[in-house]
Every structure is written in structure tokens, then in C-alpha cells.
């Protein structure tokens, strides 16, 4: 790796480290993308993994449906989250929250769409939109999708979120972190 590329990589990692708590457009340095530079997990995904070190799975954005955008990202000790907004369902349509554990009392277990995780649903209201929480429980952690969908589409945007958010395993991230910490980050695709 050339000296210039090392500097670019160091600046990118430093910028990602200061991005915790900041919002941005999907695709920016603070976006928790499932893949980055041909490898699993952008720097914010690595920050999320560090915030909940027991979690075997880390949520990330794999696909951004038309009309959706990242509205915020935060990583702190014991909790990380990002918020997605929609021009149809509202600017604060869903919070995706990673924590060590979730209380699923009152929720219903349903078939999962994420390998290695059990899925639970709790619907609060359907009417002038949709309010509810989806839980994914897995070894060492839990992810909550906290829905506050507004408008006539009601629960229809839930499917958009199911397509947009995916998980990266901690095992996949280990090699990436090792490469970055040893200066072997390759910027070429």
C-alpha cells in the first residue's frame, strides 16, 4: 500500500470514529453499510460491533429502497442505533437498535428471516400508520426495529425495512478489523 493510500485509509477511519452520533446520507462515511470496499462492514458497523462486544450479529444497511435515507447513527458503550426515514412513512420511520438483550414479553415469536436469530413481533397500533417493534435475538445480543410509520401506507413500508436492513456476523468483521489494525486495508475494489 502506498503512503498516500495509508493516509487516506487513516483519515477515513478517523472520520468514521468521530462520526458516532452524527447523521448522514446513506453511502457517506458514517453509514452503517453491510459491505465496504469489497469487505464486510463499513467503519460504523465496526463501531457498532465494538459498542456491544458480546453480539454475534451486527445490523447494517444492505439495500436502500427508493425514498428511504439514513437519518442518524449513534454508537456508545452498550448500545448502537441508526434511524431510517422515508418520504412516504415519515422522517423517523424506524430506529434499528443493537443492545445486549431484549425483553420480548408480550411479543409473538414468528418465523425468522435471519439465520442464527429468533424473531419476535409486537404490534402496538395499526390505523393512521403502524407502530410496533420487531426483535431479533441471537447469542450475545438483540436488535430491535422500532417502527413509527405514518400515512396511508400503514404497515406496507415494513417490507422495505426488511429488505434494507441485514446482519453481518462478528466472525466476518474480525478479519476486517485485523487487516485495518495492521495497515492492510486495501482501497481498491
Question: Is residue 147 domain-resident?
Answer: yes
pLDDT at 22 over 50: no
Question: Is residue 49 domain-resident?
Answer: yes
The end-to-end CA distance of the chain, in Å, is 14
Residues 48-62 pLDDT 10s: 999 999 999 999 999
Tell me which of 91 and 30 has the higher pLDDT: 91
b/e burial code for range 4-26 (CB count within 10 A of at least 16 → b): eeeeebeebeeebeebbeebbeb
Question: Is residue 146 domain-resident?
Answer: yes
Distance CA 155, CA 158 (A): 6
Query: Where is average pLDDT lowest: 21-30, 49-58, 96-105, 171-180?
Result: 21-30
* DSSP code, position 185: -
Question: Is residue 188 domain-resident?
Answer: no
Query: Where is average pLDDT lowest: 3-12, 33-42, 99-108, 152-161?
Result: 3-12
Residues 121-149 pLDDT 10s: 999 988 778 899 999 999 999 999 999 98
pLDDT at 21 over 50: no
Count of structural domains within the chain:
1
Full domain range(s) for residue 88: 3-181
Question: Is residue 187 domain-resident?
Answer: no
* DSSP code, position 125: E
pLDDT for res 130? 87
pLDDT for res 128? 79
Question: Is residue 189 domain-resident?
Answer: no
**pLDDT band, very low/low/confident/very high, at 181 (cuts 50, 70, 90):** low
Question: Is residue 8 domain-resident?
Answer: yes
Are 83 and 131 spatial neighbours (Cβ–Cβ below 8 Å)? no
Question: Is residue 164 domain-resident?
Answer: yes
DSSP string for 12-81: HHHHHHHTTT----TTSTT--BSEETTEE--HHHHHHHHHSTT-SEEEEE----TTEEEEEEEEETTEEE
Amino acid at each position: 500500500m502506498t503512503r498516500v493510500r495509508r493516509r487516506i485509509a487513516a483519515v477515513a477511519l478517523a472520520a468514521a470514529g468521530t462520526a458516532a452520533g452524527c447523521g448522514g446520507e446513506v453511502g457517506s462515511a458514517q453509514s452503517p453499510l453491510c459491505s465496504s470496499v469489497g469487505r464486510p462492514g463499513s467503519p460504523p458497523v465496526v463501531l457498532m460491533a465494538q459498542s456491544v462486544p458480546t453480539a454475534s450479529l451486527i445490523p447494517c444497511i444492505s439495500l436502500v429502497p427508493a425514498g428511504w435515507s439514513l437519518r442518524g447513527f449513534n454508537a456508545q458503550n452498550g448500545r448502537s442505533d441508526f434511524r431510517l426515514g422515508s418520504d412516504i412513512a415519515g422522517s423517523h420511520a424506524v430506529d434499528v437498535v443493537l443492545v445486549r438483550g431484549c425483553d420480548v414479553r408480550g411479543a409473538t415469536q414468528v418465523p425468522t428471516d435471519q439465520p442464527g436469530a429468533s424473531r419476535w413481533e409486537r404490534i402496538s397500533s395499526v390505523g393512521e400508520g403502524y407502530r410496533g417493534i420487531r426483535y431479533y435475538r441471537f447469542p450475545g445480543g438483540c436488535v430491535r426495529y422500532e417502527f413509527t410509520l405514518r400515512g396511508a401506507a400503514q404497515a406496507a413500508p415494513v417490507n422495505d425495512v426488511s429488505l434494507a436492513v441485514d446482519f453481518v456476523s462478528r466472525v466476518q468483521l474480525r478479519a476486517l478489523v485485523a487487516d485495518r489494525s495492521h495497515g492492510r486495508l486495501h482501497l481498491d475494489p
